[in-house]
Amino acid sequence: MAMDKPADNAVDVVLGGEATDTVPLRQKRSIYRDAVRRFARNRLAVVGLILVLILTTLALFADDGIFAFFLGREPQPLLAHTPYDKIFYGPAGAFPSLDYWMGTDLNGRDLFSRIIFGARISLSIGFLAQLIALGIGLPLGGIAGWKGGKIDFFVMRLVDVMSAMPTLLLAFLIMARLGAGYWNVMLAIAITSWLEICRLTRAQFLMLREKEFIEASRSIGVGTLRIFRLHLLPNALAPIIVSVTLGIPKAIFTEASLSFLGVGINPPMPSWGQMLGRDGIANMTFYWHLALFPALMIAFTMLGFTLMGDGLRDALDPRMLKDK
């Protein structure tokens, strides 16, 4: 309610006929609507968003699994040409052609279909792992930075202990304990990647809590939760969003590394990293398509999320309101 008062006053002034053209009636807009406008004006960000949307479409509609689930039948390939594990006896290692758009792999499976299903695996792992990481890192880092003292000490010691563990080695140990597989990879990545979000949130809150506007809010009796929602989160959000958005390709990269080294996604389930690591790099000089297409897909995915993250960062920054 308090927020509405200036606008009400402005209307009164206008209706009263005084200084009609000196008191602008500013349309009420949320920072998010402004953010959307700024995002749309940023060409690179839009390119990133389009890439992400294309990849998400590939991931969602590789087969009609979503509909098939409700219709209660086996999923049929939709954007992909064949199921990812269908073997064509004969054209193993075939180069790209009209029949096989990206050629076939050394087991005679259609590479195009495997690439598309790979999008589903890579994107879902990247996204969900970061979501779990955010769910752990943001609350912990926020509380630590805001409260300080003992809570900060204990949270940061937990972060210390966890981050004192070498990432790849920890992921390896977890994978060796749990066994290779889709959900285990996701879990291993989430466990190893919430620390940066936590540390970043804490650093932001630590800096923000010293700011005058926070002190002012507290002095007029604004509740902690409201300060969190209205002041701390919007001000701390930009670097966290950059971190999460960049964390998705990082998670995809970790998944690729694990699969590359044979403890990630189990074949025949496809993942770009695994395709690159198993057949791609070893045969790069001759079967170039086996390395090129997975590498390109990893690159496009990272490009998309990176550009989008940068655009989001610029668009979401409430301080840009001043520039209008």
Partner 1 sequence: MGRFILMRLVGLVFVLLVLSMMTFGLMHGVPGGPWHYGQRPFSEDQIAALKTRYGLDRPLWEQYVTWLSGVVRFDFGKSFDHPDETVMGLVGRTWPVTLHLGLMALAVAFGIGIPLGIIAALKQNTWVDYLATLLSVLGFVTPHFVWGIVFILVFALALNWLPTGGWEGPRYWILPVTAYALAPIATIARYTRASVVDAIRADYVRTARAKGLGERSVIFRHVMRNAMIPMLTVFGPIIPDMITGSIFIEAIFRIPGLGKFWVTSTFERDYPMIIGLTMLWAVLIAVTYLITDIFYVMVDPRVHYN
Q: Tell me the per-residue interface mask from 148 to 167 with partner 1, x by CB under 8 A, - otherwise.
A: x--------x--xx-xxxx-
State the CB neighbour count (10 A cutoff) for residue 225.
8
Instruction: Choose the stretch contacting partner 1; rule: CB under 8 A; options: 6-14, 92-100, 120-128, 237-245.
Output: 237-245
Residue 104 binds partner 1 (CB under 8 A): no
Interacting positions 268-297 with partner 1 (CB under 8 A):
276, 281, 284-285, 291, 295
Q: How far apart are CA 122 and CA 128, in angstroms?
A: 10
Taking CB under 8 A as the criterion, the residue among 105, 110, 255, 314 binding partner 1 is 314
Choose between 80 and 291: whose C-beta lies nearer to partner 1: 291
Residue 323 binds partner 1 (CB under 8 A): yes
158 with 244: CB under 8 angstroms?
Answer: no
Number of residues binding to partner 1, judged by CB under 8 A: 57
Taking CB under 8 A as the criterion, the residue among 92, 206, 222, 233 binding partner 1 is 206
Q: How far apart are CA 198 and CA 142, in angstroms?
A: 7
Interacting positions 19-38 with partner 1 (CB under 8 A):
none
State the CB neighbour count (10 A cutoff) for residue 309.
22
Helix, strand counts (H, E) of the chain: 13, 0
> DSSP letters along 220-274, please?
TT--HHHHIIIIIHHHHHHHHHHHHHHHHHHHHHHHHHHHHTTSSSPTTS--HHH
Query: Least distance in Å: CB of 73 to partner 1?
Result: 38
Taking CB under 8 A as the criterion, the residue among 61, 101, 172, 228 binding partner 1 is 172
Residue 266 binds partner 1 (CB under 8 A): no
State the CB neighbour count (10 A cutoff) for residue 173.
13
* Cα torsion through 223, 228, 230, 236, rounded to 10: 160
Task: List residues binding partner 1 (CB under 8 A).
Answer: 42, 44, 148, 157, 160-161, 163-166, 168-169, 172-174, 176-177, 196, 199-200, 203-204, 206-207, 210, 238-239, 242, 246, 249, 253, 256-257, 260-261, 276, 281, 284-285, 291, 295, 298-303, 306-307, 310, 313-314, 317, 319-320, 322-323
